[in-house]
Amino acid sequence: MMLLFALVLACAPSTGEDDDAGPGGDTGHTDTDGDTSPSGSSGCGVAAAHASGGVQVTLDMGAAGDGERGFWLSLPADYDPDVPHRLVVGYAGTSWYGEWIQPYLALEDGGPDSGEIFVYPDPLWRDFEGWGNLGGWLLGPHAAPADGDQDLVFTAGLLDYMEASYCVDTERVFATGHSWGGDMAQVVSCFMGDRFTAAVPVAANRPYWFQVADGWAACEGDTAVWTMFGISDDHFTSQDYDGQYGDECRDFWVDARGCDASDATDLGFGVDGECVSFGGCSAETRYCLYGPETGHQVPAYYSEATMGFFRSF
């Protein structure tokens, strides 16, 4: 099926994806006295190599990671190399760079004292069979024609670099992304679940990247996942019903985390569809269908809700 492109909105990126199978409480360390303590990386005590604010960084990931790769790094204005910081990875949608997706996701609107380091990786432009030449993510071994491990290698190398160069709380590393970037946030939550604490994938495709011959692929670790999807997503036009692809992602995570699908608590965001946290899960598992006025874009509550979720760990 040929790739269908969404209209470019003046205030937000358009992320083209194939309709059916395309790009698309405190749980930190707790001491016996009840106090939580961050787990600092080897980069604690190392002077910052970059100025605060935004800067483009290039790393050599070798052949396995497709060579030189770039990302947009945003350090807090008051970065302290002796204090472990949360690390947030924000994945861009189709044919967008990390620097471009930063203001769209607006994760940093919490202010300079929020205590997070943000990185926004750049996808590579590749030839995807049936879709054309696009900037997009390779989504692991099961995601043809977007199959490949290079972007998982890139992500692992990026985390290694950040943890060696900066004071990162290795127990509080997070992922999010929109559209094809939402696909990638789903993928790292499973295949790199031992590295990520929680993730918020938004407007992702159906989870074809987890499909194997005998069912679903097995995940590493136990990442908490909050899936967000538009009840009237106007980009995925081949859904059998409104919200189908979001429901399929929800069902994957409910199964993977052993949740009780009948035990759900309303999160209270006031949307027209489902917006719940499931009970009985091995890790926090949430799902929201957001209102029809938003289409394929992120919902109005995304930035604040996502950072509130990440800061709860």
- With cut-offs at 50, 70 and 90, classify the pLDDT of residue 33: very low
- With cut-offs at 50, 70 and 90, classify the pLDDT of residue 88: very high
25 pLDDT exceeds 50?
Answer: no
Task: Please state, in angstroms and rounded to a whole number, the distance separating the CA atoms of residues 119 and 121.
Answer: 6
Residue 113 pLDDT: 52
Task: Please state, in angstroms and rounded to a whole number, the distance separating the CA atoms of residues 308 and 118.
Answer: 15
Query: DSSP labels for 180-229?
Result: HHHHHHHHHHHHTTTT-SEEEEES---SGGGEETTEEPPPPS--EEEEEE
Q: Are 203 and 182 in contact (CB under 8 A)?
A: yes
Tally Cβ neighbours within 10 Å of residue 214: 6
What radius of gyration, in Å, describes the C-alpha atoms of the chain? 18
Domain boundaries in the chain?
53-222+291-310
19 pLDDT exceeds 60?
Answer: no
In the chain, DSSP finds a helix count (H) and a strand count (E) of 5, 14
Mean pLDDT of 1-16: 32
Q: Are 79 and 117 in contact (CB under 8 A)?
A: yes
DSSP code at position 113:
T
Model-level pTM? 0.87
Task: Please state, in angstroms and rounded to a whole number, the distance separating the CA atoms of residues 280 and 292.
Answer: 30
Mean pLDDT of 202-209: 94
Domain spanning 53-222+291-310, CATH class: alpha beta
43 pLDDT exceeds 60?
Answer: yes
DSSP code at position 139:
-
Q: Give the SS3 label for residue 252.
A: helix
Give the lowest-confidence range in 101-115, 182-196, 227-241, 288-302: 101-115
Name the strands in the sheet holding 168-178, side by side, starting at the edge strand that comes first in the sequence.
53-60, 68-75, 116-121, 85-91, 168-178, 198-202, 224-230, 285-290, 275-279, 260-266
> Which positions ≥6 away from 33 have C-beta within 8 Å?
none
Per-chain mean pLDDT for the chain:
86
What are the tens digits of pLDDT across the range 147-190? 999 999 999 999 999 999 999 999 999 999 999 999 999 999 99
66 pLDDT exceeds 70?
Answer: yes
Retrieve residue 218's tokens: 């097995």
Q: Are 157 and 109 in contact (CB under 8 A)?
A: no
Q: Where are the alpha helices (DSSP H) in 68-146?
A: 98-105
Q: Are 93 and 179 in contact (CB under 8 A)?
A: yes
- With cut-offs at 50, 70 and 90, classify the pLDDT of residue 18: very low
